[in-house]
Amino acid sequence: MATRFVQAVGGAEGGTWLDLGCGTGALTATVLAHAAPARVTGIDPSPGFVGHARATIDDPRAGFAVGDATALPLRAESVDNAISGLVLNFVPDPLRAAREMRRVTVRGGTVAAYVWDYAGRMQMIRHFWEAAVALDPAAEALDEGPRFPICRPGGLGEVFRAAGLSDVEEFEVEVPTVFADFDDFWNPFLGAQGPAPNYTAGLPEEARVRLRERLRATLPTGVDGSIALVARAWAVRARS
């Protein structure tokens, strides 16, 4: 997913990049591998994530700092490209974050972002919440689909236009997500961060078993035990 997004963003070789909400550095690493940048600066509010990124990405072109998406610690027009992957829906004020991305990007530079299609073809999540809500209607309040209005067709585009960006182009990025077996599908819900894993962790053991078995019964499973799903993201690309 990240590779397809970076390739779609484009950007001239030797440019400088901002990775807004860099987390542990996965998107930064993709830019380093596929965009031939002069420099990539990753900004994230979590000191733990920034520390992990610094420890695991030793490329001298990469740098990381703790910072707020709505008040970036960068001067105006200091990067050629500003991108954000799977983050803006978690920012309390995504419009303000988009304006900050515009502010730090040179005139005519590229500003781009993508978010999961939680309400549609992010099928791993959709299957999870459909099973959870069937067993526990209160779980609907945690479902990312209705909670994140920018994670729908046109959502990011509206934010970027309101931020004053030009030449706004919306597109989708879709990749297959094939799980070797049910355990391969289920295990991410047991230890990772996010609404779905947190919900699973908070269930009593008996309820967790019921959810697991309902998923096992309803997922599209091949004769070899594999589970072939699709992950789609909504993306936007614009000029500052």
CATH of the domain at 79: 3.40.50.150
Using only C-alpha atoms, the chain has a radius of gyration, in whole angstroms, of 19
**pLDDT tens digits, 116-147:** 999 899 999 999 999 999 999 999 999 999 88
Beta bridge partners of 158: none
Q: 43 vs 129, 130, 151, 201, CA distance in Å?
A: 31, 34, 22, 29
**pLDDT tens digits, 144-193:** 998 898 999 999 999 999 999 999 999 999 999 999 999 999 999 998 67
20/56 Cα distance (integer angstroms): 18
**Domain containing residue 159:** 2-117+148-174+233-239
Residue 154 lies in a domain: yes
Residue 27 lies in a domain: yes
Q: How many structural domains is the chain composed of?
A: 1
Beta bridge partners of 113: 84, 236
Mean pLDDT, rounded, of the chain: 95
Token pair in block for residue 188 = 């991410």
pLDDT for 106: 97
Residue 81 lies in a domain: yes
Q: How many CB atoms neighbour CB 183 within 10 A?
A: 12
